[in-house]
Amino acid sequence: MNFLSASEDITTQDFHELEDFIEQSICEDKFIYETCKPLIGGGKRLRPMLFLLCTHAKNSYSNEKALPLAAALELIHTASLVHDDILDGAKKRRGVSTINSRYGAQISVLVGDYLFAKAFQLVAENNYGDKVAEVLSKLVKNLCVGEIMQDRSLFAVPTLGEYYTRINLKTAVFLSSCCKLGGIVSGMSQKEIDGLTFYGGSLGLAFQIVDDILDFFGDEKVTGKIVGGDLKSGVVTLPVIRALKVSKESEVLRGIITSREVTNSDIDKAVEIIKNTDAVEYCKMRATAHIDSALVNLPFGIKTSAGLALEKIADFVVDRTW
């Protein structure tokens, strides 16, 4: 199962059209197209999927009108990844070489900026209105604040509250914004929009916690990421926070995560320490609680096939391996 199969036939046609639309939106310059294509071609499409499902969940909404905004959401996400890879010094993303590793920081910054600009061009050209523009501008602002917060706390142990603030800004706000936008453009009531927004935020918290587990225990061939990549970059996540609290080797682990010269053997040791605690079970418990909260807050009035797809996506998030 994957995110697309979770939506069954609700958005299948939309997604074929979305892929074409995204590709066409970046093809105006040959170099930019060839630079972006490997990265853009490998995403989960979770963000535009959530948006499209929410547009279908209550009222009919024109695909022709929805697709530019769905594409803009994916381009914003991709732009943030391009900039993340510069900050993290990442060599791989989605199983392919990062733009930074191929062309350097200068080109990467400009490509990321281009993708942001292209996203907002699509929004401006399609007259979505002030509410949509406000949600998107706050979304990008929060992505930047979350990234700054993370960068200023590298190689340090955050409190649980600081960790949640960071993942809320970097991940949960994005998913909640996608759901909120779907409700806004399809003309839902404010109560229904609020329910979808809460659903998306809770889903985002769970999604990021599972991502943090996969960073240590995922299959590199499946995730497209190097095991322990966050730790090498100095980003301390929930499995580490939990292990530091309960492990008898917490001081050894603390020494590894605060070191700016982390070796592969250090990563192996950190994985071993975390594995010998209840950190994974603890993280899954928290992720499951967020999913339960997401499902409770789905508006009662959208128990349609699209609403059921949103339920399936929530269930899948905790059990995914990629």
Determine the pLDDT at residue 232: 87
* Residue 87: strand, helix, or coil: helix
Each domain of the chain, given as residue ranges in start order, spans 3-319
Tokens 């281009």 belong to 114
Determine the pLDDT at residue 44: 78
In whole angstroms, give the CA distance from residue 86 to residue 112: 10
Determine the pLDDT at residue 1: 45
At the top level of CATH, the class of 3-319 is mainly alpha
pLDDT digits (tens, 9 = 90+) for 180-224: 999 999 889 999 999 999 999 999 999 999 999 999 987 777 666
In whole angstroms, give the CA distance from residue 191 to residue 185: 14
Residue type, 117: A
In whole angstroms, give the CA distance from residue 276 to residue 272: 6
Is the distance from CB of 259 to CB of 239 less than 8 angstroms? no
| Average pLDDT per block of 10 residues along the chain, 322 residues long | 55 78 91 88 84 80 86 95 87 82 93 96 94 96 95 94 97 97 92 95 97 87 76 93 97 94 91 96 97 90 75 86 72
- Global pTM reads 0.91
Q: For the chain, how many helices (H) and strands (E)?
A: 18, 2
Tokens of 173: 């706000």
DSSP track, 19-81 = HHHHHHHTTTSHHHHHHHHHHHTT---HHHHHHHHHHHSSS---HHHHHHHHHHHHHHHHHHH
* Residue 9: strand, helix, or coil: coil
- Other C-beta atoms closer than 10 Å to the C-beta of 8 total 13
